[in-house]
Structure 1
Amino acid sequence: MIWLTGGGLVVAICMIVGLLALIVAQGAGTLWPKPVLQVRLKSGAVLMGEVARTEAFREADGREARRRLVRTGNYELTSEHFTWVNDADVAEESRPEWALVVERLAWGRFYGVPKSLTAEGTVVAASPGAVWKAFQEIHASVTDRRHRRERLETEGIGAVNKRIEDARLAVRKAELKNGPGSPGHAAAVAYAAEIQAETKAEFDRLRAEIAALNAHNAKFSMKVVTADGRETELALADIVRAYPANRLSPGGRWGVYGSRWREFLLDAPREANSEGGVFPAIFGTVIMTLIMSLAVVPFGVMAALYLREYAKAGPVVSAVRISINNLAGVPSIVFGVFGLGFFCYVVGASIDDLFFAAKLPNPTYGKGGVLWAALTLALMTLPVVIVATEEALAAVPGSMREGSFACGAGKWQTIRRIVLPRALPGIMTGMILAMARGAGEVAPLMLVGAVKLAPELPVEGVFPFIHAERSFMHLGFHIYDLGFQSQNSEAAKPMVFTTTLLLIFVIFILNVLAVQLRTRLRRRFVSAVF
C-alpha cells in the first residue's frame, strides 16, 4: 500500500511539474526575438519572415518530410500572416543582414529591407545602415507626438464629452422631475446650451491640436522593400517597434525581449488582442478577485459562526450543511446564469430605476459589470469559505470557551475575543482557496461582465473615481478569446501560453500575500494546528 500511495504522489507531482514546465517554456519564449529567414522556393516565389514552428509529416509516398510555419506578415499585401513552407520546395534560404522586423499599431508585423527614410518631407537616408541609424534618432520623437495625440483624444476630448453628457442628463432629470416646459426644465436646457457653446470652442481647439500633431507625424515615413521586390511606405507614427533581427547582439535581443515584456504588462491590447499588452486584463482580474474576497469572507464567516456556535443540531441544520456541500458541486455556468438574472436584471435594473432613470433606456447597473461578476463568484466560492471556517472553529479547544465562560464572558464576547482570533488562520485558508478558484473562473464571467476589450478601467482619476458598473477584462477570458476567437489564430496561440503564465503568476502573488497574512496571525495567536 505504501508503494501504491507513494506512486500516486509521484504521478501527481510529475503532472503538476510537467504542466508548469510546459507553460513556462512556451510562455517565456513567446516574446523572444527570432532571426528572420528569406526563402526562395523552386516555384520562384520569395518569402521572408520568422519561423513560428516546425513539424514533421509524411508525404503521399510514405517518406518523412519537414515543414515550417513562417510568419511572413505584410498582411495588407498578401492577405495572410503565416505561410507553410515544405523543405522539399525550398531552392535557397538565407538570413538577410538588414532584414527589418516592424511591429505596427495595425495590420500586424511587416518584414522587409529598409530603402529610405523621409523626415519633414525630405529624404534623409537612402541606404539600409543609414536608414536604421536615422530611424533610431527620429522614432522616439514621433512616438512622443503620437502619445500626446492619444492623450488628447482620451483625456481631453473625453473630458469635453463628459461635460456635455452631464448637461444632457441634467436636462433629462429636470424633465422627469418637473415635467417638460417647466421652469426647472427650461433652466436646465439653458445651462446645457451654455455648456454646449463653451465645450465647442474647447473641442475645436483640441481637434486642431490633434490635426497639427497628425500633420507633423505624416512627414515622417520609411520606405521598405519586401522579399518579392515590392516597395511600401510605412508611417513612423504607426510603428511600435522595429529592429534588424539578424544584426542584433545578445544584449540587443535582451533589449527587445524586455521591451516586449514591458509592453505586454503595461499597455492595452491591439490587433484583436493578439498583440500589445494585457494591463486592463491584469487590473480587472486583481480588482474582481479582491472585491470577491471582501464579499465572500464576511458572509461565509457569519454563516459558519451560526452553524457551529449557535445552531442546534437537528434535521434543519443537517439539511443546510448538505445543501452547502452540494452547492460546491454546481457547475459554474449556472452561477453565471443566476448572476445575470438576479444581480443584473433584478438588482441592477432596480438601481437604475431608482438612481439612474435619466440614463434609461441605456442601463448603468442593469448589465454586466465588475461588481456583479465579483458577487457572482463570491456566491460560487461561498461553500469553500463556510466549510473551511467551520473546521477552523471546531479546532479551537473547548477548554478555551469554558475558561472564558468561567471568567464571566458572554457568548458573543467569547466568540469575538477567544474563538475568532484563534480561528483566523483557518479562515484565511478558506479565503485563499476561494481566491484561487474564483480568479481562474471564466464561464460565469462571460455572462456577468467580462468582455473582449474594455478600454475604460473600473478605477480612474475622474470623479466618482470608482465605477463598479463597468465591464472589465479578465485574464482567463482573455486566454479564451485568444485561443478561440482571434482572427489571427496562429499569432495568438503563443500568446495563450504567455497569458496563462501571467495568470498563474497573478494568482500566486495573491496567494502569497494571503499566506503571509495567515502566518502573521498564527504567530500572534496561539492556536491549535488546523
Structure 2
Amino acid sequence: MPDQRRGWPGDALWAWLCAGCVALSLFMLATLIVLLTVKGFGHFWPATLEEVTLRSGEQVVGQPMREAALPQDAGTERLYFTGNRELTGADWRWLPLDEIVDVATPADVVRLERSPWGDFIGRLVALEIDGERLSGRAARERILRALETPAAARTGELVLLSADGQGLVQPLAGVSTFVAPNALSIWEKTVLWGQGVWRFLSEGPRAANTGGGVWPAIFGTVLMVILMSVIVTPFGVLAAVYLNEIAHQNRLTRLVRIGVRNLAGVPSIVYGVFGLGVFVYGIGGTIDTWFFDDALPSPTFGTGGLLWASLTLALLTLPVVIVATEEGLSRIPDAQREGAVALGATRLEMLTRIVLPMATPAMLTGVILAVARAAGEVAPLMLVGVAKLAPQMPLDGEFPYLHLERKFMHLGYHLFDTAFHGDDVEAAIPLVYATAALLVLIVLVLNLTAIFLRHYLRRQRGEP
C-alpha cells in the first residue's frame, strides 16, 4: 500500500508557487506604503531652491519638480514651482533645458507660505517692524520669533524682491512659514521637516484643501469609525446568534443567510441613498418636526451629520459582522453546548458564558473587516454628512459634548476633494499622497488594535 504521507511530484511546485504569490503580494503592499510615504511626507522636506539663468538673460527662482520630454523629440523641459502668483499669474513654469545656461543655489533665497496668495519665492530685502528696518540675519531671526506668536498679534511688513526684480510688500500677519532652505544644514532641515509634518497632522486645511493640515479629517474619520463599530457590533452579533443558535434551520433561515451574504455585495452608494432617504429625511426630518420646530426651516437632524453617517456605514458593514460571527459560532463543537446544559445551565447562561466567549475572536474578526471597509468608504458619506470643510468639530467642550447632528470631515472625502476639486492640481499631488498614506496608517492602527485584542482574549482562554 503506498505511503499516504508522501506528496505528489507536483506538490513542491505548488508550494513554491503559493509562497511566491504571498511574497509578491507583500512586496506590492510594501511598495505601495513606501510610495505613499515618500511621495507624501517628502513634500514637507525643505527642498533646495535653484536660481536658473536662461539664454535670454531672464532669471527664474524655484523648486525643480520633474522633467518631461517635449513632443516630436524637441528636447526636454523641467517643471519649476516658482510661486509669486500675484506677480506672474501662475505658480508653475516649464523651462526647456536647452534654454538654461546656468543653475545656482544662492543661500539668500527665501520661501514664504502666506495667505491668500500662496508661496513666495525670492529674496528678503528688509523687515520693517516697530519703526525699525532690519535686514540680513537680524531680519530673519526677528521674523522667526514673530512667527511663534499668533497671527493677530504680529505687526510689521516684509519687503521682498522676486527673481525678475519686482518688489512686493507682505504683511507679517499673513505669513505662515518662512525658510531659507539653501542656507540650512541637514539637521535644521530635519527639524523643519518634523515641524511641517506636525502642522499637517495638527492644523486645519487652507487654500481649498491644497494647504494646511488634516486634523479635522483625522478626528472625524476615527470618531465615525468608532461610532460605527459601537453600533454595528451588537446588532451583528445578536443577528448571528439568532440565525445560528435560536432560529429553526429551515428554508426561511437559509434564504435569510443568502440575503445577508448578498447584501455584502451591494454597491456602497446604494446604502448612501438609503441612508439619505430613511435616516436623514425620514427619521431626521421627523425629529426636527417633534423637537426642533422652532429652528425650521433650517434642519437640525434633518440634514447630513455624524449620526446618520455612522448608521449608514453600520448598515453597510452589518452583513460582514453577521457572516464572520456566525462562522465562528458554527465552529464551536456541540459538545460544549450540551455539556453546559447537562451541568444545569439555562439556554441563556450557555449562550452568554460558553458560546459567546468562545466566539469572541470571530466577532472581532468581523469588526476588523468592518473597520477596514468603512474607513475608506466615500460615496455614501457624500450623501449623509461629510463636508469639504467643517468649521465646528463634532466633539467639543459644549454640552452635550458629542454633537451627532454636526457635519464632519473625513480623510477619504478630503483625499477625493483635494485630488479632483482643487484649483492647482500640481500642488495637490503631494497632499494627496500624504493623505492617502495617513488613511492607510489609520486603518492599519485600528485593525491592529482589534487584532491584538483578539489575540489577548485567545490567550486568556488558553487558546494557541
Q: What is the TM-score when the length of structure 2 is the normalising length?
A: 0.94
The residue aligned with 2:29 is 16
* CA offset digits 1:222-270 (Å, max 9, x no partner): 1011101111111111111101111011111012101111110111111
The match for 1:175 is none
- The alpha-carbon deviation at position 108 of structure 1 amounts to 1.1
- Do structure 1's residue 51 and structure 2's residue 64 form an aligned pair? yes
**1: distance between equivalents of 2:142 and 2:285?**
58
Find the counterpart in structure 1 of residue 7 from structure 2.
none
Q: Does 1:124 align with 2:136?
A: no
Question: Which residues of 2 match residues 199-210 of structure 1 at below 5 A?
Answer: none
Matched, 1:425 2:355: no
Query: 2:141 corresponds to which residue?
Result: 133
Separation in 2 of the partners of 1:487 and 1:136?
A: 30
User: SS of 1:471's equivalent?
Assistant: coil
The residue aligned with 1:463 is 399
Q: Which residue of structure 2 aligns with residue 202 of structure 1?
A: none
Distance in 1 separating the partners of 2:349 and 2:462: 18
Deviations 1:272-301 (A, max 9, x none): 111111000000000000000001100000
CA distance in 2, matches of 1:301, 1:444: 24
Task: Select 2:306's aligned residue among 353, 366, 370.
Answer: 370
- Unaligned segments of structure 2, at least 5 residues: 1-13
Task: Give secondary structure in 2 for the equivalent of 1:273.
Answer: coil
Asked whether 1:337 is paired with 2:345, we answer: no
* 1:108-134 CA-partner distances (Å, limit 9, x unpaired): 1111111111112x2331x33332133
Alpha-carbon distance, 1:347 to partner: 0.7
2:447 & 2:26 partners in 1: Cα distance? 20
Q: Distance in 2 between matches of 1:133 and 1:494?
A: 29
Q: Alignment partner for residue 111 of structure 1, among 107, 113, 121? A: 121
Match among 47, 51, 55 for residue 38 of structure 1:
51
* Segment of structure 1 superposing worse, 10-19 or 95-104: 10-19
Paired residues of 1:113 and 1:128 also in contact (CA < 8 A): no
Q: Which is worse superposed, 10-19 or 380-389? A: 10-19
Cα distance in 1 for partners of 2:145, 2:430 equals 32
Q: Distance in 1 between matches of 2:201 and 2:98?
A: 41
Matches within 5 A, 1:89-100: 89-100=99-110
Which amino acid in 1 is paired with 2:27?
Answer: C
Instruction: Determine the C-alpha separation between the residues in 2 that align with 1:227 and 1:439.
Output: 46
Counterpart position of 1:190: none
Unpaired runs of 5+ residues, structure 1, are 150-212
Q: Is the 8 A contact 2:41 2:197 kept in 1?
A: no
- The whole-number CA distance in structure 1 between the counterparts of 2:145 and 2:280 is 52
**Counterpart residue number, 1:504:** 440
In the alignment, the residues of structure 1 paired with residue 145 and residue 308 of structure 2 have an alpha-carbon distance, to the nearest angstrom, of 49
Task: Answer yes or no: is the 8 Å Cα contact 2:144–2:178 preserved in 1.
Answer: no
Alignment of 1:327-476 (within 5 A): 327-476=263-412
CA RMSD of aligned residues (A): 1.6
Counterpart-to-counterpart distance in 2, 1:501 and 1:298: 31
Question: Cα distance, 1:138 vs. partner?
Answer: 3.5
Other structure's SS at 1:362 match: coil
Q: How does 1:229-308 map to 2 (within 5 A)?
A: 229-308=165-244
Counterpart of 2:147 in 1: which secondary structure? helix
Q: Secondary structure at the match of 1:322?
A: helix
CA distance in 1 between partners of 2:124 and 2:136 (Å)? 5
- Is residue 56–residue 67 contact of structure 1 (8 Å, CA) maintained in 2? yes
In structure 2, the residue matched to 1:206 is none
SS in 2 for 1:454: coil
Letter paired with 1:57: A
* AA matched with 1:358: D
For the residues of structure 1 that align with 2:123 and 2:37, how far apart are their CA atoms?
A: 33
Q: Which residue of 2 aligns with 1:322?
A: 258
The ranges of structure 1 where at least 4 consecutive aligned residues each deviate by more than 4 angstroms after the TM superposition are: none
Amino acid of the structure 2 residue aligned with 1:313: Q
Q: Which residue of 1 aligns with 2:9?
A: none
- Residue 294 of structure 2 aligns to a residue whose secondary structure is helix
Counterpart of 1:476, as a letter, is G
Say which SS state the counterpart of residue 44 (structure 2) adopts: coil
Could you say which structure has the higher helix fraction? Answer: 1
**TM-score, scaled relative to structure 1:** 0.82
Q: Is the 8 A contact 1:450 1:472 kept in 2?
A: yes
Partners of 2:457 and 2:220 in 1: how far apart? Answer: 29
Distance in 1 (alpha carbons) for counterparts of 2:235 and 2:172: 55
The answer as to whether partners of 1:295 and 1:378 remain within 8 angstroms in 2 is: yes
For residues 268 and 28 of structure 1, the distance between their equivalents in structure 2, rounded to whole angstroms, comes to 17
State the AA in 2 paired with 1:74: N
Answer yes or no: is the 8 Å Cα contact 1:112–1:225 preserved in 2: yes
The structural deviation recorded for 1:58 is 4.4
Inter-CA distance 360–499: structure 2 relative to 1 (3 Å threshold):
same
Matched with 1:180 is none
Q: Write the distance in 1 (CA, Å) between the matches of 2:147 and 2:346.
A: 72
- Give the superposition deviation at 1:526: 4.4
Tell me if structure 2 keeps the 8 A contact 1:269–1:278: yes
Q: Which amino acid aligns with 1:469?
A: E
Distance 2:253 2:98 in 1: 73
Q: Percent identity?
A: 43
Superposition map of 1:116-265 within 5 A: 116-120=126-130, 122-125=131-134, 127-140=135-148, 143-144=149-150, 146=151, 149=152, 217=154, 219-265=155-201
Greater alpha carbon shift after TM alignment, 393-402 vs 268-277:
393-402
1:30 partner SS: helix
- Aligned equivalents of 2:442 and 2:77: distance in 1? 37
